[in-house]
Amino acid sequence: MSNLNRWEGIGRLGNDIELRYMPNGKAVANFNIAVDDSYKDKDGQKVEQTEWVRCVAFDKTAEFLGKWLHKGKRILAVGKLKTRKYQKDGVDHYATEIHIGQGTEIIDWPEKEARQQPQQQASRPQAQQQPAAQYSQPDDSFDDDIPF
């Protein structure tokens, strides 16, 4: 059996997306989403807690999210869990974040632009939508002669 590295969650942006460009011209978007969770403690009382999830998007996805998402808006974030190591003042630090990928969707479109929203998912540039569409529509080439 192979391994699976996939994370998905629905949350609200804690701040506006920080969009930057690398020296090679590729966009990078950094943002945090608040994901709520609740459970009952040993006394049966409901306990609510919020987990903050650090997310990173690249290239066209970063630009797209940076344009359409703002503080407080909800997003279905889908991606891979990655941990990176960096040094600050000679001390090793680690950051775990979600690298946003296909399947990410904006849930709360800005009201002002809702009528103009593009008909694409956040993580897919227009050219990449074609293959995904084939899975949502029935395949007409199916052979009807199969007896089951």
Using a cut of 0.75, tell me whether the model's pTM lies above it: no
Helix or strand or coil: residue 82? strand
Contacts of 95 by beta carbon, 8 Å cutoff, 6+ apart: 54, 83, 84, 86
The single-letter code of the amino acid at 47 is V
pLDDT in tens, 41-96: 999 999 999 999 999 999 999 999 999 999 999 999 999 999 999 999 999 999 99
Q: Return the structure tokens found at 50.
A: 């919020």
Which pLDDT does position 13 carry in this prediction? 95
Distance in angstroms (rounded) separating the CA atoms of residues 6 and 22: 26
Which pLDDT does position 144 carry in this prediction? 46
Domains of the chain: 7-136 (2.40.50.140)
Helix or strand or coil: residue 67? helix
Please state, rounded to an integer, the average pLDDT across all residues of the chain. Answer: 80
Pairing of strands 46-58, 7-13: unpaired
